[in-house]
């Protein structure tokens, strides 16, 4: 697998978020915070309804980075993000990224999750060791 060059757009991951998917993640991730799983509770919060776990959105980014960088992402990847807005059931979330620079032996990408309205939900940078890596 060859490292993508500066300017390369990573193949996006597009996911339709549903309450069922949020519930499945809550069960797998062990995060049963009612903000994610209880519509009645969540309706009383600042969010006005359930929202997806931030870590679920990061899993979509990780899926994109795994496809782009293979083992380099699993073995030596770095990610730094801010959660900017929540994803809600019914949203279509796109995990996108592009290579912005190479520095200190790493390929650095700007990464984002956006909803169907183009609103940024998560933004930050990911980095993987540069160079040829086994797929």
- 58 contacts another protein (rule: CB under 8 A): yes
Residue 6 and residue 112: Cα distance in Å, rounded? 17
Least distance from another protein to the Cβ atom of residue 62, Å:
4
- 67 contacts another protein (rule: CB under 8 A): yes
- 66 contacts another protein (rule: CB under 8 A): yes
Count how many Cα atoms sit within 13 Å of the Cα of residue 121 in the half-sphere of its side chain: 26
Residue 33 and residue 42: Cα distance in Å, rounded? 10
- Residue 79, phi-psi category: left (phi > 0), alpha (psi -120 to 50), beta (remainder): beta
Residue 33 and residue 27: Cα distance in Å, rounded? 11
Least distance from another protein to the Cβ atom of residue 29, Å:
4
Residue window 86-125: x/- pattern of binding to another protein, with contact defined by CB under 8 A = ----------------------------------------
Residues near another protein (CB under 8 A) = 15, 21, 24-25, 27-31, 33, 45-46, 54-56, 58-64, 66-67, 70-71, 73-83, 135
């Amino acid at each position: 697998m060859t490292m993508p060059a500066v300017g390369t757009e990573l193949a996006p991951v597009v996911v339709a978020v549903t309450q069922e998917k949020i519930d499945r993640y809550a069960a797998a991730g062990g995060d049963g915070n009612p903000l994610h799983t209880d519509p009645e509770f969540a309706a009383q919060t600042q969010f006005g309804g359930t929202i997806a776990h931030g870590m679920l959105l990061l899993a979509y980014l990780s899926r994109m980075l795994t496809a782009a960088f293979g083992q380099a992402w699993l073995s030596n990847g770095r990610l730094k993000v801010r959660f900017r807005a929540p994803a809600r059931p019914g949203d279509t979330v796109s995990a996108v990224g592009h290579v912005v620079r190479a520095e200190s032996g790493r390929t650095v990408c700007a990464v984002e999750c956006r909803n169907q309205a183009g609103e940024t939900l998560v933004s930050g940078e990911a980095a993987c060791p540069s160079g040829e890596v086994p797929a």
